[in-house]
Homo-oligomer: A and B are copies of this chain.
Amino acid sequence: MAPPPTDLSRLCLHTMTTRPWPLEEAVGRYARAGIGGVTVWRDAYAHCGPQAAGNLVRGHGLSVVSLCRGGFFAADSAEGRRRAVDENRRVVDEASELGAPLVVLVCGTAPGVPLEEARRQIAEGIAEVVPHAAAAGVRLAVEPLHPMYAADRSAVNTVGQARAICSEIGSPWLGIAVDVYHTWWDDRLADEIAACGRDGRLFAFHISDWLSPTTDLLEDRGIMGEGRIPIRQIRGWAEEAGFRGFLEVEIFSRRLWASDQAAFLAKITKAYMAHA
């Protein structure tokens, strides 16, 4: 079990977590709360562009931890897959402008494409984007998504699968984002995180909690401590594997987005100290 955090310097928030706040307000609030980093979603800079967004974040003394998100490589036509690769190269360029060292990849899947074939297409798509990312000095992190998203959001559903893709491509610019929400159920998780560490591929660590009952497959995540995930234990595995990066809070929740966001932020920082 990892020791509790002593401050908020390794706490990072995804802009999506406090979705109702525009980027300017979010960054100001995070900075005043003493949070160390921000992972910026593309929609958060739609109004100002990635470069201005990066300057804004750094201007408040915060680190840009990563850009969310690229991916969605699977498609039922070669043209669709080519467009996805082009789009991911653009995402890498945006990460450069934002000053983000990492792009998170939600790998996608496609109706009509068998799961096995989608997995193949994902590996091929990533392989095509990696040289562009390496040239830009931007790392890519495959984020395995919970098996309940295998039909629509990601055909990569375990850390083991993500690791196989990384091994196949074999670039130091490609690694893995482990999100406890997506992976906590996996009886091989401890071993897989250790293997990610040995491979030098543990690039990011996302936290939130699994509510019981969960009322929506997409937008009903909990704050750390509200649910069933042994977050501190899993963080311990990551740190034994050498991970020293930010602990990124990524919560999608209609319930919490509908609540007062300042109070929600206060709950997050408190829950971070108690459960992360």
Contacts and interface: CB of A to CB of B under 8 A. Distances in A.
A148 B147 contact: yes
Interface in A206-249: 210-215, 217, 227-228, 230
Interface of A is mostly: loop
Interface string A105-129: 0000001001110010000000000
A152 B213 contact: yes
Contacts of A213: 152, 217
Contacts of A227: 151
Chain copies in complex: 2
Nearest to A186: B147
Given A147-B148, A151-B214, A228 B185 contact: no
Nearest to A217: B214
A108 to B, nearest CB: 13
B148 A230 contact: no
Nearest to A112: B228
Interface string A184-217: 1111000000000000000000000011111101
Contacts of A66: none
A181 to B, nearest CB: 11
A115 B147 contact: no
A261 interface: no
A161 B187 contact: yes
A212 B161 contact: no
A157 interface: yes
A247 to B, nearest CB: 20
Interface of A: 111, 114-116, 119, 146-148, 150-152, 157-158, 160-161, 184-187, 210-215, 217, 227-228, 230
